[in-house]
Amino acid sequence: MNITSAQYIAPEGVNDSIKATIDGTEMSVPLDPANRHYAEILRQVAAGTLTIADAD
């Protein structure tokens, strides 16, 4: 799973999900540890290979 960018989405001021580019496609990833994409984001963040940017 190649994740090239990640940024929180917070339209109401609270982080609701993550906008991520995964394998070249932009996706909205929920903050659910059972979601495989979110689990991989957390793994890469822990490994220091990915940073989640703050919401706009």
Partner 1 sequence: MSKAAELAALIGSQTALSNRNMISNGAKVIDQRNAGASVSGDGQFPVDRWKASKVGAGAFSMQQSSTAPSNFNHSVVCTVTTADTSIAASDEYSYRHFVEGFNFSHAKWGTSSAYPVTLSFWVRSSVTGTYAVGFRNNAGNRTNPSTYTISSANTWEYKTITVAGDTTGTWEGASNSTGVGVIFSLGAGSNFQGTANTWNASGTWSTASATQWISNSGATFYITGIQLELGETATPFEHRSFGDELARCQRYYQASDGTGNLLFFSGHVDSGATYFAQTKLTVVMRAAPTVTVGTELGKDGFAGAPSVSWQATQSIRSSNTANANSNQGYYFFRYEADAEL
State which residue, 10 or 51, has the beta carbon closest to partner 1.
Answer: 10
Residues that bind partner 1 (CB under 8 A): 1, 9-11, 16-17, 19, 22-23, 25-32, 34-38
Provide the minimum distance between the beta carbon of 42 and partner 1 in the complex, in angstroms, as a whole number.
14
1 Cβ contact list (under 8 Å, min separation 6): 22, 23, 37, 40
Length of the chain: 56
Provide the minimum distance between the beta carbon of 24 and partner 1 in the complex, in angstroms, as a whole number.
11
Instruction: Calculate ∠ Cα 39-37-16, nearest 5°.
Output: 85
